[in-house]
Every structure is written in structure tokens, then in C-alpha cells.
Chains A and B, each alone.
Chain A
Amino acid sequence: EDQVTQSPEALRLQEGESSSLNCSYTVSGLRGLFWYRQDPGKGPEFLFTLYSAGEEKEKERLKATLTKKESFLHITAPKPEDSATYLCAYEPGGTSYGKLTFGQGTILTVHP
């Protein structure tokens, strides 16, 4: 069964302490791997889409990378406002277009 697993479940960092979140997936035929940020009481906010192994995308302090088995979200010198739940999701190819399968998320807390 296709699935996606995120680790760690929770991560506590000091401001400025860089780290990475992991998203590992088992799916045959990946159309896209997505990263979202979700703040309490709000809907997921789109961050990145990665389509092929070796691809990288950056946005401010965040950088997403993709291999054939996993994706990483690197956070460089995080600030307290980066605290949120980070979700990854994959979209399989073929006839399952549009069917995102989400991981359980990583709750990131950045302390000042």
C-alpha cells in the first residue's frame, strides 16, 4: 500500500538552530511531492512541489529536496515564526491525479 511517513513527529529548536524534517514515501509512480505548512486553526499553506529526484526548491529559510525514496525540508536559522506543523503529501501518477496522500506531519516549535 502506498504511504508516506514523516519524522520526527515533533521537533523543538532554538532560534538559529538549523535542522531537517524527513518525509519518506513508498509509491510506484510519483507525480509530485508537496510540502505544506499548517498553523493552528488554519488550512494547509502551500510551500513547494517537487517532481523528480534531485530537484531542489528554496523559499526564504526553507529548502526542499527530493530523492527516489524521501524528501527533506531543511530549515536554516529558524525563527519563532517558523513554528507550525509541516505536512508532506504525494500525488501518484496515472489515473490518481489529484489524489493527495498526506503524512501525519511534523510539529515544529522554535524557541527564541
Chain B
Amino acid sequence: DTAVSQTPKYLVTQMGNDKSIKCEQNLGHDTMYWYKQDSKKFLKIMFSYNNKELIINETVPNRFSPKSPDKAHLNLHINSLELGDSAVYFCASTQEGYGYTFGSGTRLTVV
């Protein structure tokens, strides 16, 4: 009965590869997010989708492409992975008037 679930939890890959991270929420929230937590532990927003529509797109390289097939799912595809992409990526969801619920994170290591 996990509220926001992400897969995989760990991802180790070589530079130049393409990878995807999946996120699903069973809270019925309308809005979903991708956040990146770097080595200094700062959490920064990357994207936000509201009911499958992109509403926030921060300054993120074009190699990152979010996709929302329905309001319960938000996936993140990353092309041509670079060493600097290594971080923990968190999915989150929210509904107006409620707090944000985060997933447990995907630790991406690019070697």
C-alpha cells in the first residue's frame, strides 16, 4: 500500500547509456513531480505534471524527458547519461490543500 513508489531503487550505468525511472502514486493526487537531490543533499525541482500536463519545467538539460501516461504515473527518461547526472531522484505527488508525498528515491550512479 505504498503511496508513492519508484523503480528501480538503485541504478548503476555507464556514461552514454539511456535509462528510465518509473513512478506511480495511489493517492489520487492530480500533480506529480521529479526532484533531484545532489551530493550536498539539496533537493531541486525538475518537472511537474498536473493531470498529465507539464506545468513546471526547470532549467534541466534536454536529455531529461518526463512522460506522464496518466495522472497516477510519471516516468523520467534520461538520454546519454553523464557523470554529473549521478544523484538521487525523487518522485512526489500532491493535491491542493495537502502536503507533498515523496517516494523513497532512485539512486543513480553513472560510471
Contacts and interface: CB of A to CB of B under 8 A. Distances in A.
Given A42-B105, A98-B31, A98-B55, A104 B41 contact: yes
Contacts of A68: none
Given A42-B105, A43-B90, A43-B105, A100 B100 contact: yes
Contacts, number: 49
Chain A interface residue count: which class? 10 to 19
| Range of interface residues on B (Cβ < 8 Å) | 20 to 34
Contact of B99 (A41, A49, A99): A49
Contacts of A45: 102
21 contacts: A34-B100, A36-B102, A41-B104, A43-B102, A43-B103, A43-B104, A44-B90, A44-B102, A45-B102, A46-B100, A49-B99, A98-B31, A98-B48, A98-B55, A98-B56, A99-B45, A99-B56, A100-B35, A100-B100, A102-B44, A104-B41
Interface of B: 4, 31, 33, 35, 40-45, 48, 50, 55-56, 90, 92, 94, 99-105
